[in-house]
Structure 1
Amino acid sequence: MPPLHLIKTSAEVPLTLNVTAVDENGNVQQKAVACERPLTVYLNWQPIVTLMTLGARPAELALGYLKNQGFISDVTQLESVIVDWEVNSAAVISHEKIANLESKLAEKTVTTGCGQGTVYGGFMDGLDNISLPTPKLTQSMIYRLLRNIAQYNDTYKNAGAVHGCGVCEGESIRAFVEDVGRHNAVDTLAGEMWLQQQPGGHMIFYTTGRLTSEMVIKVAKMGIPVLLSRSGVTQMGLELAQQLGITMIARAKGRHFLVYHGAQNIVFDEIPTVNHQVAQEK
């Protein structure tokens, strides 16, 4: 968990809400829906962005967002993170000197984030300095990880409408979070790892979302060399994975996956039988 003295939260918020729905037979049912609420992120009391979020771990989300966007970089300079759900805000207070803040805020790029995402001028900073280790994975371990990750996604199983992301070590899941957008989920885990000063070189990053350029960059900034997704990839996401040396595995579900980059780093030690593949296709 993050250092508790840094985080001051007014109250927790529910992740789901029960509502009434009518099915195709005209029957009334009680169903859970995922909550979605605005969270305005402040840096030293200056508003930076308003994120639409489930609200599971708002302090870590705010920190991860600010770090990934290049606004802050020195964890030792953090004073506090104040979350107040009465006004839907997360205020990060840092003693770090923020260079060129106004120019970074002025330079925006609309991204492929769920709905409409935005990255700022400092997002690409430091990519040339990233050096990731070369992992060695086994096919059998990937299968075990996929089976284990299926035990998570609690909000998705209950209500749907969310993405899940996890930081994994081998087949073990070290941290997992769900949010209405996949980028919120990765930012939350990035904030948590940054606070705890956890190295990512031996980790695997799992996501239910597609592997876009923004997702690849954020995981590279976390120092994680392997991306594993249930969804697909984009052309720019693949090009960046090739440039940064990230092993990219997508369409991973059950005993199926596609390695888009880094196949030489995987030992294929549990190739499915033809009968099993046919059964999956059916």
Structure 2
Amino acid sequence: MAHGIYKEHGIVTYNRGKRQSDSAFIVNEIPLTVYLNDNELATLICSPGGHNELAAGFLLSEGLVRDPSDIREITFNEEDGLLWVETNRPVPEAENFLRRQIASCCGKGRALLYFVNDARQLEPVQSTYQFTAPDILRLIGLLEESSASFRLTGGVHSAALADKNGLLVMHEDIGRHNAVDKVMGYAFLKRINTNDKCLLLSGRVSSEILIKAARTGLPLVVSRSAPTFLAVDLADQYNLTLVGFARGERLSVYSHEERIAM
């Protein structure tokens, strides 16, 4: 039996002195080489599926596109794992998109990410939308319930975009960043307004994931796991509410608690 994200494979188990033949579901991974205007940009190691959304979300998170109208066409060659994105304008920033640095902020003693393509684009999130704590816990529960591939394989991360009524789109991928990019790419291509939405995550919230959320104007990031300190610092700086360890009936708010109605 085969599935896009996983495949079944024979294994041998050893348990309490007993050896036996069994089978297991194992996550699949593929290389996806992205071309931007006929120039090779990057090869992403990802789970199958959602390739157009992944490419759009990746370009958005790297600051290489800003509006869905920037993208003229996306073409995917599944057999060779090649994807071409054609834009309606030149993208000179593509030459520098991998050059990222962390520097001190004007001697103020706090961390700031100077992305060559991001520094002039990122602005504090303006949304004043509020979520209730029970809503957040219900939504993270829905993410867990929807993570079928994780329950089978234990080898993927989950991400979803949600409003207070439920999940709008959800993806699982071997990479945390890929799962987020697929979700963000879907919202980007569908022109979904994000100022009353939240990003739900199964795994750790790193600074790069926080930057992805800030770029799209999302007011709330919720994870079942922990954030890094730099992610917390950036969330505070960019006016984004960050919630971690959302499990069962508990959650921890790390920044801008005014958006959480307890």
Range class of TM-score, shorter chain: 0.7 to 0.9
SS in 1 for 2:92: coil
Please give the residue correspondences for 1:211-230 in structure 2 after superposition, counting only pairs within 5 Å: 211-230=205-224
TM-superposed deviation, 1:147: 2.7
Stretches (4+) displaced over 6 A:
none
Per-residue CA deviation, residues 101-122 of structure 1 (Å, 9 max, x unaligned), is 32x1462569xxxxxxxx9732
CA contact (8 A) 2:124 2:240 kept: no
**Which residue, 113, 135, 138 being the options, matches 2:129?**
135
1:107 aligns with 2:102: no
1:207: which partner in 2? 201
**CA distance in 2: counterparts of 1:190 and 1:154, whole angstroms:** 21
CA contact (8 A) 1:142 1:171 kept: no
Per-residue CA deviation, residues 131-174 of structure 1 (Å, 9 max, x unaligned), is 32123222222222233222211111121211000001014011
TM-superposed deviation, 1:65: 0.4
**CA distance in 2: counterparts of 1:105 and 1:251, whole angstroms:** 32
TM-superposed deviation, 1:14: 2.1
User: What amino acid maps onto 1:142 in structure 2?
Assistant: I
1:196 aligns with 2:190: yes
**CA distance in 1: counterparts of 2:98 and 2:250, whole angstroms:** 43
Residue 89 to residue 78, structure 1, CA distance change in 2 (3 Å): same
**Which residue, 75, 85, 95 being the options, matches 2:88?**
95
Considering only aligned residues, what root-mean-square deviation do their CA atoms show, in Å? 2.0
**Which residue, 176, 179, 184 being the options, matches 1:185?**
179
1:15 aligns with 2:5: yes
Residue 125 to residue 68, structure 1, CA distance change in 2 (3 Å): farther
TM-superposed deviation, 1:266: 2.2
CA contact (8 A) 2:140 2:224 kept: no
The number of aligned residues is: 246
User: What amino acid maps onto 1:121 in structure 2?
Assistant: V
1:76: which partner in 2? 69
**CA distance in 1: counterparts of 2:56 and 2:171, whole angstroms:** 15
CA contact (8 A) 1:56 1:178 kept: no
TM-superposed deviation, 1:262: 2.3
1:153 aligns with 2:153: no
**CA distance in 1: counterparts of 2:190 and 2:216, whole angstroms:** 12
When the two structures are superposed, what TM-score results if normalisation uses the length of structure 1?
Answer: 0.82
**CA distance in 2: counterparts of 1:179 and 1:260, whole angstroms:** 26
TM-superposed deviation, 1:124: 4.0
User: What amino acid maps onto 2:215 in structure 1?
Assistant: K
**CA distance in 1: counterparts of 2:46 and 2:116, whole angstroms:** 23
**CA distance in 2: counterparts of 1:107 and 1:264, whole angstroms:** 35
The gaps in structure 2 that reach 5 residues or longer are: 103-113
Greater strand share, structure number:
2
CA contact (8 A) 1:48 1:105 kept: no
Residue 146 to residue 105, structure 1, CA distance change in 2 (3 Å): closer
TM-superposed deviation, 1:184: 0.5
- Seq. identity, %: 26
User: What amino acid maps onto 2:230 in structure 1?
Assistant: M
**Structure 1, 22-31 or 72-81: larger mean CA deviation:** 72-81
